[in-house]
């Protein structure tokens, strides 16, 4: 499980750093709700990713049917949590809804960005 | 028991939210469960790299889950947003948004799960090429999310558009039709995309030297597989944005609703069928790279034939919208 914790740390910290830096830029130009929304969404995205990793041992070495039930239960539990920032953004104007939605996908965006960067770096290296 | 419009609007928002999240959770749950079961197989084959397989599974599941997070977003918006215009069109908008997002997330969730499962199996076979397998998985499963994104876009357009100047009849039916077209239309393509991306992950593991060719064929196969979801999106946009004359007759309204159903349901089969074709092409190019040109030609011809039923549905949908 140590490898998983390292992965969570790597992408969690990358997502939070990116959200804070981007949010700070929005803060400087006066778009405070976008800044707050982005950071709020990202925090919940990281929390969701961490919880996903923590439930992994429960889903290994089980039959297909029990894996399905555990995965469904895990989704519903984590989604109750993910609903919090969206409800906050809809209810309170101090959080921008679209920034919260982008924040919620920040970990996935970091995963993809990291691998795409690696891919293009390797291609440039290979060409040189 | 009598129902009035002020009762129907909150009722429609609850039903819409239930559909968005309920259907939206199916695909991701099945996909994640499939990934986990394939990871179990992979670990039993190569227990030494169980940590790497678990990491691959976690990343794959994170992407597979995006589809149902889209569903969650729309469900929350339907439940907690305030809708200023309380008309029968609003009732239709709320239901259609939920239908579009809920159904649209099914295929992408399962598709991304299939991709991640194949990546776990591939990693067990070829641990030395972890990076290229991971790359194929992340790019492939992200592309498999595109049909769900089409549905998300349709739902958001429906929620944020102002239909107050449109006649109630037949606009209510056009909007419901748009929800069905975008929602059902995304099911087949999402699933088909996942099959193709899964084959690319297995291909990268089977023949790492052919990874580049496998990846290119995967993109080509997925692009064609997605066309039926694009037809669904196109029909839903026509139904949303086309000005329709007011009428009290039920037949024109039913024609618009049927157009959405026709295109949506008609897109399911071709999406999956084209996915099967491209999956085999990618699998066999990885085994026999020297015959890439022949295999690609057969793949494109096969996909074109499979696509024809989607085109028939598109034609009938357009006839229902513009001619009937």
Domain boundaries of chain B, sorted by first residue = 11-322
- The chain-wide mean pLDDT, for chain B, equals 92
Q: What is the pLDDT of residues B155-186, one digit of tens each?
A: 999 999 988 889 998 999 999 999 999 999 99
Q: Do A104 and B59 touch (CB under 8 A)?
A: no
pLDDT of the residue at A112: 85
Q: What is the pLDDT of residues B8-64, one digit of tens each?
A: 899 999 999 999 999 998 999 899 889 988 998 999 999 999 889 988 998 898 889
Q: Do B32 and A71 touch (CB under 8 A)?
A: yes
Tell me the C-alpha to C-alpha distance, in Å, between residue B64 and each of B142, B267, B315. Answer: 8, 22, 33
Task: Count up the domains in chain A and report the number.
Answer: 1
What's the CA gap between B62 and B56, in Å, rounded?
A: 10
Domain of A115 in residue numbering reads as 2-127
Q: What is the pLDDT of residues B119-161, one digit of tens each?
A: 999 999 999 888 888 888 988 888 899 999 999 999 999 999 9
- The chain-wide mean pLDDT, for chain A, equals 85
Helix axes B250-287, B88-125, angle to 10 degrees: 10
What's the CA gap between B271 and B192, in Å, rounded?
A: 6
What's the CA gap between B97 and A13, in Å, rounded?
A: 34
pLDDT of the residue at A24: 95
% of residues, chain B, pLDDT over 90: 68
% of residues, chain A, pLDDT over 90: 42
Residues B183, B107: contact at Cβ < 8 Å? no
Q: Identify the sign of the CA torsion B179, B180, B183, B186.
A: negative
Residues B125, B87: contact at Cβ < 8 Å? no
Residues A35, A24: contact at Cβ < 8 Å? yes
- The alpha carbons of chain B give a radius of gyration, in whole angstroms, of 21
Residue B103 has pLDDT above 90, yes or no: yes
The yes/no answer to whether this complex scores an ipTM above 0.85 is no
3-state class (DSSP) for residue B246: coil
A3 near B CB under 8 A: yes
Q: Which CATH number fits domain B11-322: 1.20.120.610, 1.10.3720.10, 3.20.20.70, 1.10.8.640?
A: 1.20.120.610
Burial A79-104 (b: 16+ CB within 10 A, else e): beebbebbebbbeeeebbbebbbbbb
Q: Is A10 left (phi over 0), alpha (psi -120 to 50) or beta?
A: alpha
Residue A66 has pLDDT above 80, yes or no: no
Residue B198 has pLDDT above 90, yes or no: yes
B237-243: long-range contacts at Cβ-Cβ below 8 A with a sequence spacing of 24 or more?
A: B237/B154, B237/B157, B237/B178, B238/B318, B238/B321, B239/B174, B239/B175, B239/B177, B239/B178, B239/B181, B239/B321, B240/B154, B240/B157, B240/B158, B240/B161, B240/B174, B240/B175, B240/B178, B242/B174, B242/B321, B243/B166
Residue A62 has pLDDT above 60, yes or no: yes
What's the CA gap between B103 and B70, in Å, rounded?
A: 11
Structure tokens at B220: 């080509």
| B78 confidence band (pLDDT: 50, 70, 90) | very high
Q: Is A30 left (phi over 0), alpha (psi -120 to 50) or beta?
A: left
How far does A114 lie from chain B, in Å, by closest CA?
10
Mean pLDDT of A92-100: 92
Taking contacts as CB-CB distances below 8 angstroms, the residues of chain B near A76 are 25
DSSP secondary structure code for residue B208 in this structure: G
Mean pLDDT of A93-111: 91
Mean pLDDT of B218-226: 91
pLDDT of the residue at A85: 92
Taking contacts as CB-CB distances below 8 angstroms, the residues of chain A near B57 are 56
CA-CA-CA-CA dihedral for A50, A54, A55, A60, to nearest 10: 120
Residue B307 has pLDDT above 60, yes or no: yes
How far does A87 lie from chain B, in Å, by closest CA?
6
Winning range, highest mean pLDDT, from A58-62, B127-131, B138-142, B233-237: B233-237
Residues B239, B277: contact at Cβ < 8 Å? no
B63 near A CB under 8 A: yes
% of residues, chain B, pLDDT over 70: 99
B81 near A CB under 8 A: yes
B215 near A CB under 8 A: no
Can you say how many angstroms the Cα of residue B77 is from the centroid of all Cα atoms in its chain? 20
CB-nearest partner of B55 from A3, A83, A108:
A3
**What does pTM read for this prediction?**
0.87
CB-nearest partner of B54 from A4, A64, A119:
A4
Element (H, E) at A55: none
What's the CA gap between B95 and B92, in Å, rounded?
A: 5
Can you say how many angstroms the Cα of residue A6 is from the centroid of all Cα atoms in its chain? 15
CB-nearest partner of B131 from A67, A72, A118:
A118
What's the CA gap between B118 and B194, in Å, rounded?
A: 10
DSSP code per residue over B26-55 = HHHHHHHHHHHHHHHHHHHH-GGGHHHHHH
Mean pLDDT of B240-269: 93
pLDDT of the residue at B209: 84
B55 near A CB under 8 A: yes
pLDDT of the residue at B271: 95
What's the CA gap between B201 and B59, in Å, rounded?
A: 14
CB-nearest partner of B73 from A60, A71, A101:
A101
How far does A127 lie from chain B, in Å, by closest CA?
14
Residues 24-53 on B with a CB inside 8 Å of A are 25, 28-30, 32-34, 36-37, 39-40, 43, 51-52
Residues B134, B53: contact at Cβ < 8 Å? no
Q: Do B36 and A90 touch (CB under 8 A)?
A: no
| B3 confidence band (pLDDT: 50, 70, 90) | low
Residue B2 has pLDDT above 80, yes or no: no
Q: Is the peptide bond before A15 cis (omega within 30 degrees of 0)?
A: no
């Amino acid at each position: 499980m140590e490898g998983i914790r390292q992965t969570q740390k790597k992408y969690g910290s990358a997502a939070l750093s990116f959200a804070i830096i981007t949010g700070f830029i929005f803060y400087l130009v006066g778009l405070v709700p976008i800044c707050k929304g982005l950071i709020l969404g990202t925090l919940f995205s990281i929390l969701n990713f961490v919880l996903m990793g923590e439930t992994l041992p429960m889903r290994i070495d089980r039959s297909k049917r029990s894996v399905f039930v555990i995965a469904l239960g895990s989704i519903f539990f984590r989604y109750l949590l993910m609903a919090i920032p969206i409800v906050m953004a809809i209810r309170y104007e101090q959080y921008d809804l679209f920034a919260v939605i982008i924040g919620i996908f920040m970990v996935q965006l970091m995963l993809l960005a990291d691998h795409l960067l690696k891919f293009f770096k390797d291609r440039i290296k290979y060409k040189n | 028991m009598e129902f009035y419009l002020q009762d129907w609007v909150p009722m429609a928002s609850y039903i819409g939210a239930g559909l968005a999240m309920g259907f939206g959770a199916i695909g991701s749950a099945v996909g994640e469960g499939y990934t986990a079961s394939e990871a179990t197989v992979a670990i039993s084959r190569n227990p030494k790299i169980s940590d790497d397989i678990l990491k691959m599974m976690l990343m794959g599941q994170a992407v597979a889950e995006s589809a149902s997070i889209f569903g969650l977003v729309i469900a929350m918006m339907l439940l907690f947003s305030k809708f200023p215009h309380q008309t029968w069109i609003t009732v239709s908008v709320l239901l259609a948004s939920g239908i579009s997002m809920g159904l649209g997330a099914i295929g992408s969730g399962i598709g991304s799960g299939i991709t991640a499962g194949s990546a776990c199996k591939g990693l067990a076979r070829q641990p030395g090429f972890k990076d290229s397998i991971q790359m194929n998985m992340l790019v492939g499963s992200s592309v498999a999310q595109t049909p769900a994104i089409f549905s998300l876009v349709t739902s958001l357009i429906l929620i944020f558009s102002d239909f107050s100047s449109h006649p109630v009849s037949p606009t209510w039916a056009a909007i419901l039709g748009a929800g069905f077209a975008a929602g059902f239309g995304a099911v087949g393509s999402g699933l088909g995309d996942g099959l193709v991306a899964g084959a690319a992950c297995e291909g990268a593991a089977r023949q790492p030297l052919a990874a580049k060719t496998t990846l290119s064929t995967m993109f080509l196969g997925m692009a064609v597989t997605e066309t039926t979801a694009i037809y669904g999106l196109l029909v839903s946009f026509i139904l949303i944005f086309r000005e329709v004359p007011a009428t009290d007759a039920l037949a024109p309204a039913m024609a618009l609703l049927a157009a959405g159903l026709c295109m949506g349901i008609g897109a399911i089969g071709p999406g999956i069928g084209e996915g099967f074709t491209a999956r085999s092409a990618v699998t066999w190019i990885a085994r026999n790279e020297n015959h890439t040109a022949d295999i690609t030609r057969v793949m494109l011809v096969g996909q074109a034939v499979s696509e024809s039923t989607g085109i028939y549905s598109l034609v009938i949908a357009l006839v229902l919208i513009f001619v009937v």
